[in-house]
């Protein structure tokens, strides 16, 4: 048969459990306070590092023709892959010599 738990032992177990629970809640609150204060601070700018407000306002200064860059095929230029564009003749069709 099981021996009945004494009331003093049950009270001691409840006290230990409640103390442990309070300690865990205290740790969670402390960690939450630390992390929330870190999120509110402005990031530290190191010397020579990129500045976020300047980087966010940069514009694309690309002055090249987008069609010219689209027609470049580096693999076709190297001879690794066939070209997908149609070759343009150097002379107009009216000036081409007829075949005999």
pLDDT in tens, 23-44: 999 999 999 999 888 777 676 6
Q: CB of 73 within 8 A of CB of 83?
A: yes
d(CA 10, CA 17): 11
The answer on pLDDT for 18 being more than 90 is yes
d(CA 73, CA 84): 9
d(CA 88, CA 73): 15
Q: What is the chain's Cα-based Rg?
A: 38
pLDDT-derived band at 54, boundaries 50, 70, 90: low
- Find how far residue 96's CA is from the centre of its chain: 56
- Whole-model pTM: value is 0.38
């Amino acid at each position: 048969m099981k021996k009945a738990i004494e009331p003093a032992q049950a009270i001691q177990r409840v006290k230990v459990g409640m103390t442990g629970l309070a300690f865990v809640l205290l740790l969670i609150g402390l960690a939450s306070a630390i992390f929330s204060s870190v999120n509110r601070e402005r990031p530290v700018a190191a010397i020579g590092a990129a500045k976020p407000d300047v980087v966010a306002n940069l514009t694309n200064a690309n002055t090249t023709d987008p069609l010219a860059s689209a027609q470049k095929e580096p693999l076709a230029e190297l001879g690794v892959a066939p070209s997908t564009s149609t070759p343009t003749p150097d002379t107009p069709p009216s000036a081409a010599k007829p075949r005999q």
